[in-house]
Amino acid sequence: MQCEAQSDASALEMRDVVVVGGGASGLTAARAAARRGLNVTLLERTPQVGGNLRTRRDGDWQIELGPNTLMMKPPLHALLDELGLLDEAQPANPTARRRYIAYRGAPVALPSHWLKAPINSLIGPRGVGALLREPFQRRAPQAEESLADFVTRRLGRRALDHLVDPFVSGVYAGDPERLSAQAAMPRLVALEREYGSLVRGGLVRLRQARRAAPTLPREWRGQLVSFPSGLQRLAERLAEDITAQSSAAIHCECEVSAVYREGEYWRVETASGQGFRARELVLAVPAPTAAALLAPLDQDMAVPLEAIVYPPVNAVSVGFRRADIAHPLDGFGMLIPGVEHRQTLGALFSSTLFPGRAPSEHVLLTAFLGGRRQPEAAESDDDAQVAQVVADLRDLLGISGEPVWQSVSRWPQAIPQYELGHFERLAALETALERHPGLSLIGNWRDGIAVGDCLENGRRLGERIAETLGT
């Protein structure tokens, strides 16, 4: 899908809605508003929409520069159905249910059943004992709590170091000592608040889920999915659906330089001199970008946005001959806890997850460097990044050769951190936003970092705007 070329005309275009940012949130917000009959323009700074949904093909190698999978949930299923993408959706290899964690220099699979937990080295009798004691631990204090404190209080230090810490690295590239339990893991905290125990609450929720009517067809329940041509396909299809509406347009390579209020409307100006006037303005951009645009308008909006941290993360993709890796690579990937003292946060077994990601008799790994605790690990050149990943993984996976293909994708501002004080920052932002009707801010820095969350939050925002404007 080609974006509409931007005009050099100085005439001011009048729109119902202008959306700044063509990532998952912006695309679904623009689509929802356009499908309700509003005149919508989406402005994207880069040559293509999708944000971090980017796929690269190099001969027989195919990599994701950003997210690698989507979790199939009812909202995503409905969206793919509307877009005609369900037939293209590609479930992950069933072995992806197996997850490895590095433990004392070796990859250990998480137990597939709770009865196997006592003999699993990651959990063992001590871990089982902590689970048995968990229902009797004290409830959370009223004050906000770090994720590290929350997990240690309920499950002990072992669970934090060997289970939660690597999970946090895989999802946030974050530091559990800094992350807010309430903001980063709200469902986990809710179990304690509602049931007084993670174990007790988890069992109740499991029984409720089994009794509830299915919300997805059986073949899609719990599935991780992608597309043969990669996740960028979803962004392209969303853009096609937006521009299929006669009242909607997308302008790529269109950097917004200023936004401000002009009477009853919002004025948007671009670096090329193009201007738009809109009844509703949506900033679907990273928090630092939103802060820079809003600072001249209201510092009370800019300050909380500037406080949201985005550490750098590099995705290092390395291809090997299958014969040069001893490990069967029979899973989603391997996470590496901080207590293992390696720079690599973890690695996905990309060619195991989906077919068509590597040539025959070869395998593809996607590893990650950087993050909140080791941002300096993302600073070296590409060859050094690859060398570090290979050194960290060599003994864990039994690598005997060198990569035959490599690629490094750099994200200087990668994943927003929901750190202590996150809710207070969002509350301050919302208070300031009340002074600016017709302005909405959305992105993965609030209400969930997963792509699925962004897609659904964008849809809801677009529909709310349509209702506000009376369509």
Amino acid at 119: I
The phi and psi torsions of 360 (rounded to 5 degrees) equal -55, 140
Q: Is the pLDDT of residue 399 over 80?
A: yes
Closest CA to 65 of 466, 409, 460: 409
Give residue-wise pLDDT tens across range 257-314: 999 999 999 999 999 999 999 999 999 999 999 999 999 999 999 999 999 999 999 9
Q: CA dihedral defined by 292, 298, 303, 305, rounded to 10 degrees?
A: -60
Contact 23, 443 (CB under 8 A): yes
Place of tokens 């929350």: 150
The pLDDT-based confidence of 468 (bands split at 50, 70, 90) is very high
- Mean pLDDT throughout 216-242? 94
- Mean pLDDT throughout 65-93? 96
CB count, 10 Å around CB of 60?
14
Alpha carbons 175 and 198: distance in angstroms, whole number = 21
The pLDDT-based confidence of 103 (bands split at 50, 70, 90) is very high
Contact 353, 95 (CB under 8 A): no
**Pairing mode of beta strands 333-335, 313-321:** unpaired
The structure tokens listed for 344 are: 């690599």
The pLDDT-based confidence of 8 (bands split at 50, 70, 90) is very low
> Which range among 101-105, 138-142, 261-265, 436-440 shows the weakest confidence by mean pLDDT?
138-142
How far lies 136's CA from each of 125, 126, 132, 181, in Å?
18, 16, 8, 20
CB count, 10 Å around CB of 5?
10
Q: Is the pLDDT of residue 128 over 60?
A: yes
What separation, in Å, do the N-terminal and C-terminal C-alpha atoms of the chain show? 28
pLDDT of residue 2: 42
Q: CA dihedral defined by 52, 374, 156, 164, rounded to 10 degrees?
A: 20
**Pairing mode of beta strands 40-43, 12-20:** parallel
Q: CA dihedral defined by 42, 46, 47, 52, rounded to 10 degrees?
A: -90
Helices (H), 266-378: 287-294, 299-306, 350-353
Q: What percent of the chain has pLDDT over 90?
A: 80
The pLDDT-based confidence of 24 (bands split at 50, 70, 90) is very high
For residue 13, list its beta bridge partners.
276
- DSSP letter string, 280-299: EEEE-S-HHHHHHHHTTT-H
Alpha carbons 245 and 248: distance in angstroms, whole number = 5
248 SS3 class: strand
Give residue-wise pLDDT tens across range 167-224: 998 899 999 999 999 999 999 999 998 888 888 888 888 888 788 777 888 889 889 9
The phi and psi torsions of 351 (rounded to 5 degrees) equal -75, -15
pLDDT of residue 293: 97
State the pTM of this model: 0.93
How far lies 62's CA from each of 174, 265, 351, in Å?
27, 44, 9
Average pLDDT, the chain: 93
How far lies 13's CA from each of 269, 274, 355, in Å?
11, 9, 46
**Pairing mode of beta strands 405-411, 55-58:** unpaired
pLDDT of residue 1: 45
- DSSP letter string, 398-460: TB-S--SEEEEEEESS-S---BTTHHHHHHHHHHHHTTSTTEEE-STTSS-SSHHHHHHHHHH
Alpha carbons 64 and 248: distance in angstroms, whole number = 29
Identify the residue with better confidence: 119 or 72: 72
The structure tokens listed for 109 are: 């699979």
pLDDT of residue 470: 81
Q: What percent of the chain has pLDDT over 70?
A: 96
pLDDT of residue 115: 66
pLDDT of residue 219: 86
pLDDT of residue 124: 81
pLDDT of residue 134: 83
For residue 445, list its beta bridge partners.
none
Alpha carbons 174 and 417: distance in angstroms, whole number = 7
pLDDT of residue 119: 75
The structure tokens listed for 455 are: 């897609």
The pLDDT-based confidence of 438 (bands split at 50, 70, 90) is very high
The pLDDT-based confidence of 4 (bands split at 50, 70, 90) is low
Q: Is the pLDDT of residue 126 over 90?
A: no
pLDDT of residue 111: 85
Angle, to 10 degrees, between the axis of helix 24-35 and the axis of helix 451-468?
A: 30
The structure tokens listed for 394 are: 């060599």
**Sequence-separated (6 or more) residues with CB below 8 Å from residue 184:** 147, 168, 172, 174, 418, 422
Closest CA to 246 of 41, 20, 53: 41
Identify the residue with better confidence: 226 or 126: 226
